[in-house]
Amino acid sequence: MMAADEGRRRGLGRGLSALLGDASSGDGAQPESGRVARMIPVERLKPSPYQPRRHFDDEAFAALVGSIREKGVLQPLLVRADPGAEGHFEIVAGERRWRAAQQARLHEVPAVVKVLSDRDTLEVALVENLQREDLTPLEEAEAYRRLMEEFGHTQEILARSVGKSRSHIANMIRLLGLPEPVRRMLDEGQISAGHARALVNAENPVGLAQEIVRRDLNVRQAEDLTRKGQAPSPQKAGAMAPKDPNVAALERELSEALGLKVTVTTKKGGAGKIAILYEAPEQLDDVLHRLKRP
């Protein structure tokens, strides 16, 4: 098991171990003597715009505040210089400790200052939260999207950088194509990421999500419900010819690439059309941005 854990950490790109040494990533870890930490006033620190995490568990946060009030901040934050304010810093890793330190009435916290690019900042913040399993599914998906859109990562490169499979990356990004009511239910924990993945290509994802919650269905039951919800009516079923397997595979590939439902309709003679279903203008903007990329 230990060898597998070490292999996973090596697969996490630069990660925290490459930037901070091999110290534990837990909040209670003692700082190593090899790392140069300095005390920085809390008012000179601010969250990074590249921090993927947006939600903090209230109970766990309260426990962290109590620990910091009693023992102080034992693991330094990782920060970089704020380009817009001399003498101030952006938090790359450790925003929760910074917020808890303020609640505990501390005036300064230990921090390691590193020179990091925007891409490194986002990647390290993402890796740190993935190691701790702190991100919600949508936070994780949005971080993957930003690494791909803003910094040119392919799914293959991204998978290697964060120690995940390419299919996991693709499936998570597809969650961003869900309508807002379903994303809200996912964020609030009413449905799981497995439930949400089953709804990505559904014709009525909002109604199906509400039915999943109402009936308290597990993921497999939700998948069955989604298949039934998408099944054509008996009248239409008799008139529809089965879709060519190659066309169906193309639909799946396009849907995964765009994170939206895509249908391909072919006609005699080779002509056809591609339809992309989107729920909000920003999703259409995202598609246009992808199409314009060289």
CA pair distance 270, 178, nearest whole angstrom: 31
Contact of 201 with 256, CB cutoff 8 Å: no
Is 95 in the active site?
yes
Q: Which of 32, 43, 86, 95 is catalytic?
A: 95
CA distances from 11 to 6, 7, 119, 167 (A): 9, 6, 17, 16
CA pair distance 89, 230, nearest whole angstrom: 51
Long-range contacts, stretch 222-231, CB < 8 angstroms, 24+ apart: 222/191, 222/194, 222/195, 222/198, 223/198, 226/198, 226/199, 226/202, 229/202, 229/203, 229/204, 230/201, 230/202, 230/203
CA pair distance 211, 243, nearest whole angstrom: 28
CA pair distance 257, 200, nearest whole angstrom: 13
For residue 292, the SS3 value is helix
Residue 183: CB partners within 8 Å, gap ≥ 6? Answer: 138, 175, 176
Question: In 3D, which of 111, 122, 69, 119 has the Cα closest to residue 88?
Answer: 111
CA pair distance 80, 113, nearest whole angstrom: 5
CA pair distance 174, 155, nearest whole angstrom: 13
Active site residues: 95
